[in-house]
Structure 1
Amino acid sequence: MATVYNDQGEAVPVTVLRYEPWFVSQIKTNEKDGYEALQLACRPKKAKNSSKAEKGHLTSAGFENGAAFVKELRQSAPEGASLGAQLSIDSLSKGDIVRVTSRSKGRGFTSSIKRWNNSGGPASHGSKFHRKPGSSGNRTWPGRVMPGKKFPGHWGDETVTVKNVEIVEINSAENVVLVKGPVPGARNSLVKLVKG
């Protein structure tokens, strides 16, 4: 993250997002595919890392060796959309409110104390209960563990959406978007901005 100053001289914490050009790789229609969608591709791959099918599909969009990212937006194609057309960020402007979606950091298999912020046991005075989950059931009735009980398990690496995020600044020359506050995910991960 970084810090910028607004017109009132207040420090605003921001996350710097780099915009890479996305190109239309396929236009799906109800007649041909059963639903309407726009398929987009970004960042060329090396020839040795892509299959022949991928190369053939993405050649019309300008990716002879395939693309590192291919995403689909369930919407009707806007007017003037054609294969290989580049998407711009001109629809975004300073002060817009957007939804930010990304993959959260994966933390692997974690205990209930770290995953769910459960309390640990006493640390001394002969205690043998420190970081265990503790009791998980009730009594003879219901005689089972209730669904949704907070247990140890895999934490993170899931889709997270943060709403009402303000765009602080857009630098078209550097292809950079500054959004207020934190953004889910690790560095260099893919982030989707949805206006409104």
Structure 2
Amino acid sequence: MRIGSLGIKIGMTQIFDIEKNIAIPITLIKVGPSIVTHIKTKEKDGYDAIQLGFGFILNNESSTYTKTNKPEKGHLQRSNVNSCSYLCEYRVQNSEEYSIGQIIDVGMFETGQFVDVIGKSIGKGFCGTVKRYNFGRGPMSHGSKNHRAPGSIGAGSTPGRVYPGKRMAGRKGGTQTTIKNLQIIKIHSEESVVAVHGAIPGKSGNLVNLVPSYKNYK
């Protein structure tokens, strides 16, 4: 049961550790702020959880954002939100500790903490077996007709079909990916930016989900 926050990947850079004389690759993530839009309780829903909204616009703010439909607007009215870009649910130990309309910002994280980052990996499009699964290629000499071909895909009359899950050409990337145990190197509270050690899924501008890692509790 780990409450996290949604954010946007800004990009990668590096910082230098003068004492160890090394360069540390980091990824900058703009985290939150998020607003509590819904609370689930064990008595009513069977479990305790809160729903956070990211990219929200309050009712007292003017906006031309038209993506939110009428059912979503009715759902967000209780939290004084006019529209919201993304919603995400997190399990909690006790939902009574939170209230509708409460703001969750970057202050929930701390330097040195380990987090898991969930995001959508970069799509590579339709790829062959060499790029998709690191297959070896055939001879490149003159006369060979098997440079990057996948080769045989199965037996003949027995079984007379291709087994499910056969590694063949197809779409690569563009799937949900989780990178675990990334340490927070620095936090810029004024800009709501978190710097984590290493790379995270997706390209710059992608939506990511940061949740505390189980490594913090070992």
User: Which AA in structure 2 matches 1:14?
Assistant: I
Q: Given the alignment of the two structures, is residue 34 of structure 1 paired with residue 52 of structure 2, yes or no?
A: no
CA-atom RMSD in angstroms: 2.0
Aligned to 2:127: 110
Q: Give the 3-state SS of the residue equivalent to 1:136 in structure 2.
A: coil
For 1:195 and 1:105, the matched residues in 2 are separated by 23
Q: How many residues align?
A: 195
Contact map agreement 1:38 1:77 (CA 8 A) in 2: no
The CA distance in 2 between the partners of 1:133 and 1:36, in whole Å, is: 50
Contact 2:16 2:24 in 1 (8 A): yes
Structure 1 unaligned runs (5+)? none
Segment drifting more, 129-138 vs 140-149 = 140-149
Within 5 Å, which residues of 2 pair with 1:126-145? Answer: 126-138=143-155, 141-145=158-162
Moved more, 81-90 or 116-125: 116-125
1:24 paired with 2:36, answer: yes
Specify which structure has the higher proportion of strand: 2
What is residue 191 of structure 2 aligned with on the other side? Answer: 174
Task: Give the Cα–Cα distance (whole angstroms) in 1 for the partners of residues 18 and 104 of structure 2.
Answer: 30
Which consecutive aligned stretches of 4+ in structure 1 deviate over 6 angstroms post-superposition?
A: none
SS in 2 for 1:148: coil
Shift of the alpha carbon at 1:88? 2.6
Give the distance between the partners of 2:207 and 2:93, measured in 1 at CA: 23
Query: 1:78, CA displacement in angstroms?
Result: 4.3
- When normalised by structure 2's length, the TM-score is 0.80
Percent sequence identity is 39
1:53 aligns with 2:71: yes
Which structure has more RCO (C-alpha within 8 Å, separation ≥ 6)? Answer: 2
| CA distances 1:64-109 after superposition (whole Å, capped 9, x unpaired) | 1x21111111334444311110113323221112211111112222
Gaps of 5+ in 2: 1-11, 58-63, 214-218
Quote the offset at 1:10 in angstroms.
Answer: 2.5
Question: 1:120: which partner in 2?
Answer: 137
